A = this chain, B = another copy of it.
Amino acid sequence: MDTARELHQRSNIFEPDMIEACRPDLERWATNIRPGTVHNAGPTISRLADLPQARQAESVRQAIDRIQDDVRAFQAGHKLDLVVVVNVASTEPPFPIDETHGSMENLLPALEKRQALLPASSLYAWAALDLGWPYINFTPSLGASFPAALELAQERQTVTGGKDGKTGETLLKAVLAPMFANRNLRILSWVGHNIFGNRDGLVLDDPKNKESKIRTKDQVISQIVGYKPQTHVSIEYIESLDDWKTAWDHIHFRGFLGVKMALQFTWQGCDSILAAPLVLDLARLALLSKRRGETGILKHLACFFKSPMGVEENDFFKQWAMLEDYVLSTTV
C-alpha cells in the first residue's frame, strides 16, 4: 500500500492524518482485493489495468467462475450472511446487445463459446446475480441492464439497480430542469463542460469510453421537459485538477414575450467524496430489499442514478418521493 503522503498527494483530498487513522481497517480489508477482469472493457481500461497474463487469457466462463470463487471466499472469510456487489469500475465503451442477450436460454450456451459476448461489468453482474446476491451498477456500463440478466435476477430471487451514480452536474440537471418546466421557461440550449484529473478522467479521455458517459448525462433534460433542447456535454481530462471535478453549465432559456435569459453554474466537487456515501446507502438499501424477499429491478433507487433502470422518471424530486414512499412503506 502507498504511504499516506502519496495517497494524499495523488488525491488532493485525504489528509494524511485521516489515512493514518483508518490504516488498520484499510489494511484488514485490503486482503480482499483480487485482480479483476477487463473482458471487452476497451483498450484504455486494459492498458491502465495491466492485468497478469493468465487473467487476460481466460474465457468469459472462467472469468465468471473466478469472480464467484472470490465472492464466496470473501463471504466465508468475514463470516457474512449477505453480500452485495457494486460496480464502481471505470466506464466501458457502449456495448451492443442482440437477441443472444434476450433470454437466459439464448445466453447460457453462448457463455461457453463466445468471448466477445459481454463486457466486464456484465460478468460481475452475472456472477453476483447467479449467486443470488444484489448487483448495483454505479457506472454507465452495461452491467445487468439486458433481459437475460434480469431474468437471472428473478430466477435466483435477487435484486439489481443502476445505472451511473448521479453525483454532480447531472444531479443539478435533474434538479434544475423541473424548475424551468414548472415556470414555463423554455430551455433553448444546455451546454455542460466537465473537467477533472483522476483515473476516471483518464479513462473518459478515450472517446469510446466517453460516449457511454455522455449518453447517460445527456438524456436527462429532454426526458424531464418533454422536448429536445440543443444539448452539449463535454468531458476533458485535465491532470492538474486531481480528483476535483469542475463543471461549467450554461443554460439558455426563453421566457415571456420570447425574451432570452441565461443561467450559468460552476460546480466544484470531489467525485469520490460525493460518490462514497451514495454507494454506502445503495448497499444498505439493496440488502434491505434482499432481506425483504424482493426481486428484479429496484426502481425506487432512481434518485441515485443518471439513467435509472426500469423508470423513465428523471425529475430528482419525484425520484426522491419514490424513495421516501418505499422506505416509509417498508419500515414497519
Contact = CB atoms under 8 A, between A and B. Distances in A.
A13 B266 contact: no
Nearest to A241: B252
A176 interface: yes
Contacts of A236: 191, 232, 234
Contacts of A254: 240
Nearest to A324: B182
Interface string A173-201: 00110110011100011010101000000
A256 B230 contact: no
A5 B15 CA distance: 10
A269 B180 CA distance: 13
A238 B191 contact: yes
Given A18-B257, A263-B266, A273-B256, A189 B13 contact: no
Interface in A247-274: 248, 250, 252, 254-257, 259-270, 273-274
A173 B70 CA distance: 47
Contacts of A230: 238-240
Interface residues of A, number: 59
Given A189-B239, A193-B193, A248-B248, A277 B255 contact: yes
A16 interface: yes
Given A240-B188, A248-B250, A250-B248, A263 B261 contact: no
A12 B188 CA distance: 15
A270 B255 contact: yes
B17 A17 contact: no
Contacts of A265: 263-266
A263 B268 contact: yes
A267 B259 contact: no
A195 B250 contact: yes
A245 B303 CA distance: 33
Contacts of A189: 195, 238-241
A273 B261 contact: yes
Nearest to A323: B182
A276 interface: yes
25 contacts: A5-B17, A8-B15, A15-B16, A16-B16, A16-B17, A18-B257, A171-B183, A175-B175, A176-B176, A189-B238, A189-B240, A191-B193, A191-B238, A195-B250, A230-B238, A232-B238, A238-B252, A240-B254, A259-B270, A261-B269, A261-B270, A261-B273, A263-B267, A263-B268, A264-B268
A274 B262 contact: no
A307 interface: no
A209 interface: no
A317 interface: yes
A-B pairs with lowest CB-CB distance, top 9: A188-B240, A317-B317, A265-B265, A193-B193, A259-B273, A261-B269, A175-B179, A248-B248, A189-B240
